[in-house]
Amino acid sequence: MQNYKFTISYDGTKYSGWQSQCNTENTIQGKLENVLTRMTASKVEVIGAGRTDAGVHALEMTANAHFVTQMNTAQILEYINNYLPCDICIKDVTIVSPRFHSRYNATGKTYRYTCYTGSTKPIFDRNFVYALGKCPDINKMRDATEYLLGTHDFKCFCGNAKFNKSSIRTIDLITIENKDDRVVFTYHGDGFLQNMVRIITGTLLEVGLGMRSPESVKQTIESKKRSEAGFTAPASGLCLIKVDYS
């Protein structure tokens, strides 16, 4: 039995997130498992590097699965893409060590969040941006990011009220760029809590829109209370860009 590593792109608009759920088959993981089970004629479990929420996209999600097949990697790639929906694509298939685990071996992740600041509707990419309608103060938001960099307890930015594991994470990069009618946030860290990127983005947008000061972010982190952080930015603007491995 071989361990296969997959690099996956998907438009998450119509899916209920990455993770398979007992009450729905409409997930990215579920679609992949169905195709691989069909291909191998045996039950296959796909392990993802993370669990993107409903409506969130990925440029390069990483996953792995153990199974037996007579196909080579090129044939596997062709077969899977032939049967997957048009909004999910396997970009690469490789054989890796039996002990490789896409989630446990990940050392970092990069996320991008995109806001549309134009005055008209973003008709053709409406599923990939948050239509903000105006441009927030970029400099104030950049000032606020200084309080987020480094290792902190990010419990206040977790959307799961029942989360009872360690909420300490390290963020080593946050950039905010104004590109024509887009404001693009890029985050890199060793890992992110449920909804963490979207809540941080919502908090920074509140700073940029004058609803809170940059300095308030420090107090928010220290409070460890979700109620002290900003709103959860819509899923449409978020995309997992890359998963790092050492």
Which residues are known to be catalytic? 53
Q: Per the structure block, which two tokens stand in for 232?
A: 């959860």
Distance CA 57, CA 10 (A): 6
* Residue located via tokens 């024509």: 180
Residue 102 vs residues 49, 99, 109, 147: alpha-carbon distances, Å:
5, 10, 12, 30
Indicate the SS3 state at residue 174.
strand
Instruction: Indicate the pairing of strand 47-48 with strand 57-67.
Output: antiparallel
Give residues with Cβ within 8 angstroms of 43, minimum separation 6.
37
Q: Do 119 and 131 form a contact (C-beta atoms < 8 A)? A: no
Q: Is 130 exposed, middle or buried (0-12, 13-18, 19+ CB in 10 A)?
A: buried
Q: Is 57:10 a contact under the CB 8 Å cutoff? A: yes
Rounded to 5°, angle at Cα 188 from 185 and 192: 100
